[in-house]
Structure 1
Amino acid sequence: MDVVIVDDEPLARDRLKRMLADEPDFRVVAEVSSGDRVMAAVMEHDPDIVLLDIHMPGESGLLAAQQLVDLEDPPAVIFCTAYEQHALEAFGVNAVDYLLKPVRKEKLLAAMQQACNLNKAQRQTLNQGSEGRPHISARTRRGVELIPIEQIHFFAADHKYVTVYHREGETLIDDTLKELEQSLGERFVRVHRNALVALNRIEAMEKGANGQFVLRLTGTQQRPVVSRRHVAALRQLLTGAAAP
């Protein structure tokens, strides 16, 4: 599980890193010293868990957590703070746990394991839903264009826009990935915070030269990137799909 540590005190960040250094299930991928840099770190590293202080220069940890909650595929948040009076507010932004400094290793690991269990539960429900709609509609220069679901390779989000990659090319649409994931049922699978892929288009998941996993799809040369946090669940899903 990839972890981002957010704290304005270098000693506090180092202490958390030392606690996780010998834990093979957790890997610290980034450190952030202020709340207003949290979103950029999450978008770059796509972590499973964020260890977040509350009182920091600039944006508070609570505000940063609220912005994370609004993401379509948010990481788990564990607050690590010296201020106990914000506990109720913390759980109001769906924090997994609220640990008071000095954080004890056993409590940290228990909270991290709880975050792992939540992520597993989320992955188990990733593809639940109805068969959903038969096509995607898009407003283009030619008017409303209907794109049949069976012609779609994958959807990719870039800030406020979502592009659908399909047999006839690429088209911008108004739907969010979250809306698409809910309405398309088990035919599509989330492989990254910014990508939703047609399950029946996946030929293989391969590891690139830079260490990232990518998908080889039928009908397109595009290679969607698979986030580290989705690799295990996708591998299990593809193994199950290939089983007789």
Structure 2
Amino acid sequence: MAAPLSVLIVDDEPLARLRLRTLLGAVTQPALVIAGEAGSAEQAMALVLREPPDLLLLDVRMPGRGGLALAAALHELPRRPAVVFVSAHGEHALEAFDVEAVDYLTKPVRLERLQAALARVAARRAPPPASGPLLVVSERGRLRRVPLAEVLYLRAEAKAVLLRTLAETISLDETLAELEQRLGAGFLRIHRNAIVARAAVRALEPRDDDEGWAVRIAPGDEWLAVSRRQLAAVREALGES
């Protein structure tokens, strides 16, 4: 069983820290422990250097060094905690992802959004597929363990990634890029919005009306588009000239 997720709350407002602490107490999954609280970036960095937590719930605007600067500084550490920003100001979201934040929550934080962000962090901490046959994913704020042998493909659509198995389609909270890092050699990127299980591919064929190429996925006989950029790599991976 994985160790509980250790969370450090960083916000200059005591009431904001209290609300996050209360919300964390209501989280049912993943398991977590509150590693402490900090009222400034400097205090947070001192705590991180003493005993790195798994996650910082980090305010953006604070007196002195702000949350974005602190997140950038964490990149220099040998063991870097994940960061989920919590802010009353939505306009910093793009900057937040520039420093590789896992998520960006706006105040007042809703429990379901917090739980979904925590699940994404916990899924990232899961062991890679090489150590076992399960893929740990985040579905609507809860963790699921999906047998890799059952995964046919993953496809990004609108605001979600759809994971297709032999029996169901699961809507995930994570990005395709995050998931790709945990899939291993048995999976193949065929398009910027699609990754397929090599074992599920039955054919690579040109489509009608000059629509490019596509792979046929068994057993459901579904077709997924292959981008021109990925075509050569897909051909090579499937042993085609």
Task: Give the TM-score of the pair, scaled to structure 2.
Answer: 0.49
Q: Which has the larger radius of gyration?
A: 2
Instruction: Answer 1 or 2: higher relative contact order, Cα 8 Å, separation at least 6.
Output: 1
